[in-house]
Amino acid sequence: MDKNCHTLCQLLMKDCKDPSLSSKLDEIWKNAYDEGRIHLLDGIIYNRTKHTCAMVLADRTWINTIIHECHDSVAAGHLSEDQTLERVKTCSWWPDWKKDVS
């Protein structure tokens, strides 16, 4: 498990007694946590924004799969960059996701 995801799970568990754990997060993860966007539900970490609630991904294999499914798969229909960004945004989030998708 990614160190940031592990730390987030510890922070988000109801019995967490060490709020200083957030200092162990990389900056982009810490910002999302500090802004109250990161939530833990049924063991899955989500990034919640004003309009979406997306599953957080940290594993490069899953990230590549999501990009493929949202852009290159037959079901996706080889969408434009803007359409692919929108589609990815609705289901997943990871640091610098826009850069990876573009």
Per-residue pLDDT reduced to its tens digit, 72-81:
776 667 678 8
Q: How many angstroms separate the CA atoms of 12 and 42, rounded?
A: 12
> Whole-model pTM?
0.74
* pLDDT at res. 76: 64
